[in-house]
Amino acid sequence: MHDQNSLVSQLYSLYMVELFRYAVKQFRLGHEEAEDIVQLTFLTFSQQVDIRKIGNHRAYLYRMIHNKIVDHIRKTKSDRGIEDQISAHQSEEASTVNNPERSTCALQRLEIVQNTMASMPERRRVIINMSRHEHLSNVEIARRLGISEKAVRKHKIRALLDMKLAVNTASGSGSQ
């Protein structure tokens, strides 16, 4: 095991900067995001059964980081899809300003969303506020709260779905 840890340390020294640049340039990730993914890649790599049996460590690391970035992008797109639906809904509400009937509906929906937020568990409410009002990324929220990025995503998705369900139920559509 000591040999494996030593090998991982050597490979980290050799390829960390190269993999970081790859993540930033090829996938246009932010520096913190890229750094997190590089570290996660090496952590996963270090937990492989026996990395000494891998023929080309550099190629293996590139494939691993590529896969981790693709997974990260997929998860981010999923989060954004739900957020885009809420934003589109909010844009539609903004266009109702000159229509009293639509303005009343928009105010009712706003009240429903506020009531839904008030009834959420505190952590979920804090996470959605950090995301929406402080414009923090999932990584930044996770660091501030000392939880995993996956937990942040789950809380955000649950909060957005709760708000959407409450609005749909109140408006009589009941569908998601």
Sketch out the chain's domains with CATH numbers: 2-73 (no CATH), 95-170 (1.10.10.10)
Burial degree of 42 (CB within 10 A; 0-12, 13-18, 19+): buried
Q: Model confidence over 55-111: pLDDT tens digits?
A: 899 999 999 999 999 888 887 776 666 666 666 655 655 554 556 665 677 677 778
Instruction: Give the least confident one: 19-28, 51-60, 151-160, 163-172.
Output: 163-172
Q: How confident is the model at residue 128 (pLDDT cuts 50, 70, 90)?
A: confident
Average pLDDT over residues 30-35: 89
Q: What is the pLDDT of residue 147?
A: 94
Can you tell me the distance from the alpha carbon of 34 to that of 29, in angstroms, rounded to the nearest whole number? 6
Q: In the chain, which residue ranges form alpha helices assigned H by DSSP?
A: 2-27, 31-46, 57-94, 100-119, 122-132, 138-145, 149-170
Give percent of the chain with pLDDT exceeding 90.
28
Handedness of CA 95, 97, 101, 102 (dihedral sign): positive
Place of tokens 């590089």: 38
Q: How confident is the model at residue 162 (pLDDT cuts 50, 70, 90)?
A: confident
Average pLDDT over residues 161-173: 78
- The amino acid occupying position 153 is R
- Write down the pTM of the prediction: 0.47
- Token pair, residue 130, equals 């950090």
Residue whose C-alpha is closest to residue 161's, from 95, 60, 81, 107:
81
Give percent of the chain with pLDDT exceeding 70.
80
- Token pair, residue 155, equals 């809380």
Distances (CA, A) of 110 to 26, 84, 92, 122: 40, 17, 13, 19
Q: For residue 172, give the 3-state DSSP assignment.
A: coil
- The amino acid occupying position 169 is T
Q: Model confidence over 39-49: pLDDT tens digits?
A: 889 888 887 76
Q: How confident is the model at residue 160 (pLDDT cuts 50, 70, 90)?
A: confident
Answer for the pair 103, 97: CB distance below 8 angstroms, yes or no.
yes
